[in-house]
Structure 1
Amino acid sequence: MENQVIVEHIFLLVIVTLFSVLQNAFFAVKLEREGKSGCATSFDRVSCAVRNCMDAYPTFLAVMWCAGLCVSQAPAAFAGVLYLIVRHKYFVGYMGQTSQSTPGFVFGKRPIFFLILMCMVGILNYMMAYFLGRCYKAQLKTITSLTASLLLIP
């Protein structure tokens, strides 16, 4: 029973993490196919796109989990799903002209910034609860749940 309660608090984060792993597998398969096609230019573009996505991947996972555990998993998972969608748009755009990847790159900063902000606020809340005895986790959950939808505004 106790394990079920723990899983309920991280279930959405686990699902988003699994989707991100599947997306990485898709990127790897795409890179392998381009390598076998023999077109050096296409392979270079796909290789660069995969490398760029992998460079940001640890940061994404760290801030999504930190935000989900410190504040609330639902807005963190929502921002994570948005990030994965934008990362896919960036990857597909990168295989075309460079200008096609720009919207994915620019929009991808929003969910990451939101998750970093959630982490910072969650850590600050923990410190306030520990040192001052004031915990605002319920209010933070409400605020982050409401502001997560603002990530959809172009």
Structure 2
Amino acid sequence: MDIDVMENIFLLVLVTLFSVLQNAFIALKVEKECKKQDAAFERLSCAKRNCMDTYPTFLAVMWCAGICLSQAPAAFAGGVYLVTRQKYFVGYMGQTCQSIPGYLFGKRMLAFLFLMCLVGIVNYLLGQYCGSDYKEYVQTITKAASTLLLIP
């Protein structure tokens, strides 16, 4: 693979691999509880289903944001999303209300990544049809804004 291409996607690849490991952890946890067939299994199964339902959306917006706009903030938001998804899953093992903070924070990360995609696409279209490119300015703003995502 070309070294320039790898430099532009390396962080995205790392976050994707961590998400695969997290999926394996979730599957093993559900498999372990499967033998008991009790209320905890039902909660874990529901949490696993919810995590798997949003997984393709997460991957799509993270990669699009990283490629269309900037790799570092997209990978940072992706990493934070994985932490919140873990918090959601572990919260589901207790009472269902313990998973709400992870759920809400995860939605915030997905919204940020989606916004990054839109800004990247609009910037590309402006560059193509209007001749003005704001990518450097927008990248600076998203790098600064990505750290603000940690504020609850």
Q: Which 4+ runs in 1 deviate beyond 2 A?
A: none
**Which of 136, 139, 144 is 1:138 aligned to?**
136
Q: Does 1:149 align with 2:131?
A: no
Question: Is there any run of 5+ residues in structure 2 with no aligned partner, and where?
Answer: none
Residue 39 of structure 1 deviates from its aligned partner by 3.3
Q: What residue in structure 1 maps to residue 67 of structure 2?
A: 69
Q: How far apart in 1 are the matches of 2:108 and 2:138?
A: 19
Q: Does 1:8 align with 2:7?
A: yes
Kindly report which structure 2 residues correspond to 1:2-151, keeping only aligned pairs within 5 A, or say none.
3-36=2-35, 38-151=36-149
For residue 11 of structure 1, give the secondary structure of its aligned residue in structure 2.
helix
For residue 134 of structure 1, give the secondary structure of its aligned residue in structure 2.
coil
TM-score by length of 2: 0.98
Residue 61 of structure 1 deviates from its aligned partner by 0.4
Q: How far apart in 2 are the matches of 1:51 and 1:39?
A: 16
Q: How far apart in 1 are the matches of 2:10 and 2:18?
A: 13
Q: How far apart in 1 are the matches of 2:19 and 2:102?
A: 16
- Give the structure with the larger helix fraction: 1
Equivalenced residue count is 152
Q: How far apart in 1 are the matches of 2:9 and 2:104?
A: 28
For residue 132 of structure 2, give the secondary structure of its aligned residue in structure 1.
coil
Q: Which amino acid aligns with 1:70?
A: C
Deviation per residue, 1:1-35 (Å, 9 max, x gap): x7011000000000000000000000000111011
Question: Is there any run of 5+ residues in structure 1 with no aligned partner, and where?
Answer: none
Percent identity, please. 63
Q: How far apart in 2 are the matches of 1:4 and 1:125?
A: 25
Deviation per residue, 1:82-137 (Å, 9 max, x gap): 00000000000011101100111111111111100000000000110111111111
